[in-house]
Amino acid sequence: MAIGSTLSEHLDAEVARDSSLADTARTILALAAASIDVSEICARGALAGDLGAQGETNSDGDVQKALDVIAHKRFTEALQSAPVAEVASEEADDVMVLNPGAPLAVAIDPLDGSSNIAVGMIVGTIFGIRPVVSDPNDPNASFKTPGTTQTAAGFTVYGPATTFVVTLGNGTRIFTLDRTDKVFRLTHDALKVVATANEYAVNSSNGRHWDVPVKAFIEDCLRGEEGPRDRNFNMRWTAALVADAQRVLIRGGIFLYPGDSRKGYEQGRLRLLYETAPIAFVMEQAGAAATDGQTRIMDVVATRIHERSPLVFGSTDEVACVAKYYEGRQPAAGRSPLFGQRGLMRS
Ligand SMILES: O=P(O)(O)OC[C@H]1O[C@](O)(COP(=O)(O)O)[C@@H](O)[C@@H]1O
Ligand SMILES: [Mg+2]
Ligand SMILES: [Mg+2]
């Protein structure tokens, strides 16, 4: 598809390739339209009111900000006009029923990176679309399938530009909002994340709570060319998963939000259905990897709609390297009896 083509044109091409994606494409268009509205609000910043004003607590224990609630309302309204039967939103305790009998279920984080709202920094929206599973005994059945059942996934980044990142299982693309025409235009076609990169993203203030493999991985990155990795690393952390994910898509690197020993953080901070599974689909379709450290995220099945999952994604060599640390095979000779010989990873 030519650079500059619209999201609509891309979706038409995807439906021409696979007609079973027609409902998914309509749903993506509804999400994109709502993204443009939320983008307009974000772009007004403080002129749009106190978007960071604190309200109620959501089911995951986060205090909702005004923009969390506005985005949840706007996206669920938009999905009402799409072939969507059920929505699992970060900002609703239970699965919401929209159009009974419709074929699709959507998991959505209406506003990702909430701690950035009050300071006017990057935020986003994350979504994953999957087929409805009807089970009269379980209102959550549609969401208890692995990430591999997603027909599409993506995220919007409300940054200096608003971007819409999407995959329908045929590569990952970035569309950038053309504010003049109010359409998303293709700017990054069929992304290919580099296999090796020297940049990592982690909230290191949690370092003392991490388990041994993650601590060792990050320590060895910090040791740079004097350590077993033999090269220097740079660190970036935007506190918005969407922004870190977009950076990894464009220039590679690795992102980690591992489980840690804080109460409630045993499975990290991010939620499987509307954060880690959609990001995993987008990453895999761009040639990158996404695991919980060891297990492929796309294979994980949720047992609850707000279930958390550790997340490690990015350049394949780096993600594979983290797995080696979990297996005790990293090149950290002499530092701990737990670990193997320096040089093992290079073999
Ligand atoms: O506050 P921390 O620990 O740095 O966590 C930041 C992470 O939490 C999140 O903000 C969670 O998403 P929400 O803002 O949607 O709850 C991610 O975007 C981000 O990667
Ligand atoms: Mg989020
Ligand atoms: Mg959120």
Report ipTM for this prediction.
0.98
For ligand 1, atom 20, the nearest C-alpha belongs to 241
Q: How many residues does the chain have?
A: 347
Give the C-alpha separation, 1 to 5, whole Å. Answer: 7
Q: For position 240, what pLDDT does the model report?
A: 98
138 is in an annotated binding site: no
One-letter-per-residue 3-state SS of 130-150:
EECCCCCCCCCHHHCCCHHHC
347 is in an annotated binding site: no
pLDDT tens string 250-294: 999 999 999 999 999 999 999 999 999 999 999 999 999 999 999
Does residue 108 surpass a pLDDT of 60?
yes
Q: For position 288, what pLDDT does the model report?
A: 98
- Whole-model pTM? 0.95
- Compute the mean pLDDT over every residue in the chain, rounded to the nearest whole number: 94
pLDDT cut 70: percent of the chain above it: 95
Q: For position 59, what pLDDT does the model report?
A: 83
Q: For position 343, what pLDDT does the model report?
A: 42
Residue with tokens 């918005």: 240
Q: Quick one: average pLDDT of 75-81?
A: 98
Q: Quick one: average pLDDT of 107-129?
A: 97
5 is in an annotated binding site: no
Q: For position 329, what pLDDT does the model report?
A: 87
Domain ranges of the chain: 7-188, 199-346
Half-sphere exposure of 62 (CA within 13 A, CB side): 22
Give the C-alpha separation, 305 to 96, whole Å. Answer: 11
Structure tokens at 201: 């993203």
Q: Which CATH class is domain 199-346?
A: alpha beta
Per-residue confidence at 17, pLDDT binned at 50, 70, 90?
very high
CATH 3.30.540.10 correct for 7-188: yes
Q: Quick one: average pLDDT of 28-45?
A: 98
Contact by Cβ (8 Å): 158, 184 = no
Give the residue, out of 56, 269, 276, with the most ligand 1 atoms within 8 A of its beta carbon, to mutate for a pocket test.
269
Per-residue confidence at 338, pLDDT binned at 50, 70, 90?
very low
234-235: strand order across its sheet? 234-235, 199-201, 254-257, 311-314, 289-291
Nearest to 109, CA basis, from 57, 41, 60: 60
Q: For position 346, what pLDDT does the model report?
A: 42
Ligand 1-lining residues (CB < 6 angstroms): 62, 90, 109, 112-115, 203, 239-241, 269
3-state secondary structure of 119: helix
